[in-house]
Homo-oligomer: A and B are copies of this chain.
Amino acid sequence: MIEDSALDEPGRALQRLDRAEALRLLAGTPVGRVVFTRHALPAIRPVNHLVETDGSIIVRTRLAASLTTAVRGNSGVVVAYEADEIDPVRRVGWSVVVTGIARPVTEPDRVARYERLLRPWVDKVVDTVIAIDPTIVSGIRLVDKTEMDEVDLRK
């Protein structure tokens, strides 16, 4: 879907990604950013992730104590998870945001599997495996209108 009102002078168009495409792009990049609220302030931290077949985002990190406490409770906590690949020179790329409840993974088999697959970069000592429900998945792609036209012509 192209939003006409979002067309820009340099010839860029904004396309909304569907859920499947957004999750596919997210799964194909190793790094993203978990966004949460800490002491009533917006907070963000980059982490590595994997995407499960049901779309859950799995991260393993030493999150802020307030988030970890909330996540370890039964209630969970709503977070956003973002990844993007943007070329600032060509001004093309994509961004995906998943919003949903973050909960700790507690089943020993799953924890062991994720600890094997997701190697933390620094936070070796105290970390938690967290699964983020993909309740809302949104994504955009910035495309060069010229290239887009070329794609259309090939159809």
Contact A46 B86 (CB under 8 A): yes
Copies of this protein, total? 2
Contact B91 A9 (CB under 8 A): no
Contact B7 A44 (CB under 8 A): no
Bound Cα distance A91, B120 (Å): 10
Contact A41 B78 (CB under 8 A): yes
A30-38, A108-116, A147-155 - interface stretch? A30-38
**Chain A binding surface, main DSSP class:** strand
Contact B41 A80 (CB under 8 A): yes
Contact A5 B125 (CB under 8 A): yes
Chain B min CB distance to A38 (Å): 10
Which of B30, B42, B125 contacts A37 (CB under 8 A)?
B42
Bound Cα distance A10, B22 (Å): 31
Q: Decide yes or no: A123 and B82 within 8 Å by CB, A42-B35, A42-B42, A95-B45 being known contacts.
A: no
What 5 pairs across the A-B complex have the smallest Cβ distances? Answer: A42-B80, A30-B88, A35-B42, A14-B122, A44-B82
